[in-house]
C-alpha cells in the first residue's frame, strides 16, 4: 500500500511537472502555426499555474509572441513589458541576458519605426505637393489650350480677313484695269475725233 502511495505521489509530481511544460510546448506549436492568440493563452496558463518554476520561460515566450513579425496583433510595448518582467521578477533567470538583448532590439525597432513613421509623413506630404502641382499644371494646361484655341480662331479670322482683302484688292485691280481700258478707249476716240 505504501508503495502504491509513493507511486501515486511520484505520478502526481510527474504530471504536475509535465503540465506547465505541456502548456509551453503547445504555445510554441500554436506560434509555429500562426495562432498567436492560442499561443498567448497557453503561456498565460503556464505563468498563472507555475509562476516560480516556469514563469520566466512563459514570460519570455509571451515577449516573443507579442514581437513576432507575423502576429497581426503585434505589440512591442507588451513584448517589452514581458521581457522587463523577467528582469524584475526573476533577476537570476537564465533568460535574463536574452531578455535584455530583446529589450535593446525592441528599443532599436521602436526608433526605426519612429523614423519610418516620419518618412511616411514626409512621403505623404510630398505626394500631396505632387497632387497640388499636378492640379496646377492641369489648370495651366487648360489655360494654355484655351489660349491656343483662341490664337487659332484669331489666326483663322485674320486669314479670312486677308483673303477677303486680297479678293477686294483683286476686284479693285480689275476695276482699275477696266477703267484704264475705258479711259484709253475714250482717249483713243478723242484723238480720232480731233484729227
Q: How far apart are CA 155 and CA 152, in angstroms?
A: 5
Q: How far apart are CA 62 and CA 40, in angstroms?
A: 6
pLDDT of residue 19: 62
pLDDT of residue 109: 86
Judging by beta carbons within 10 Å of its beta carbon (0-12, 13-18, 19+), is residue 99 exposed, middle or buried?
buried
What are 87's three cell numbers?
528582469
Nearest to 87 by CA among 78, 100, 106: 100
Instruction: Please list the rounded mean pLDDT of every run of 10 residues in the chain (195 residues).
Output: 40 49 92 95 92 91 95 93 94 94 92 91 95 94 94 91 92 90 85 78
pLDDT of residue 18: 53
By the 8 A CB rule, do 42 and 23 touch? yes
pLDDT of residue 35: 96
- CATH superfamily for domain 14-122: Tetratricopeptide repeat domain (1.25.40.10)
Domain chopping of the chain, boundaries: 14-122
| Contacts with 89 (C-beta within 8 Å, 6 or more apart), sequence order | 55, 56, 59
Amino acid at each position: 500500500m505504501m508503495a502504491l502511495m509513493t507511486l501515486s505521489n511520484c505520478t502526481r509530481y510527474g504530471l504536475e511537472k509535465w503540465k506547465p511544460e505541456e502548456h509551453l510546448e503547445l504555445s510554441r506549436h500554436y506560434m509555429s502555426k500562426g495562432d498567436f492568440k492560442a499561443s498567448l493563452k497557453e503561456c498565460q496558463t503556464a505563468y498563472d499555474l507555475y509562476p516560480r518554476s516556469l514563469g520566466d520561460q512563459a514570460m519570455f515566450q509571451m515577449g516573443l509572441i507579442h514581437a513576432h513579425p507575423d502576429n497581426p496583433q503585434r505589440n512591442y510595448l507588451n513584448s517589452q513589458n514581458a521581457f522587463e518582467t523577467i528582469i524584475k521578477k526573476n533577476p537570476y533567470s537564465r533568460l535574463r541576458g536574452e531578455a535584455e538583448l530583446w529589450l535593446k532590439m525592441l528599443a532599436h525597432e521602436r526608433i526605426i519605426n519612429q523614423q519610418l513613421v516620419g518618412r511616411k509623413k514626409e512621403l505623404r506630404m510630398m505626394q500631396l505637393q505632387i497632387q497640388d502641382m499636378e492640379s496646377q499644371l492641369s489648370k495651366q494646361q487648360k489655360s494654355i489650350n484655351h489660349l491656343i484655341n483662341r490664337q487659332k480662331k484669331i489666326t483663322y479670322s485674320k486669314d479670312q480677313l486677308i483673303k477677303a482683302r486680297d479678293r477686294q484688292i483683286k476686284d479693285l485691280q480689275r476695276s482699275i484695269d477696266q477703267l484704264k481700258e475705258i479711259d484709253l478707249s475714250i482717249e483713243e476716240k478723242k484723238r480720232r475725233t480731233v484729227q
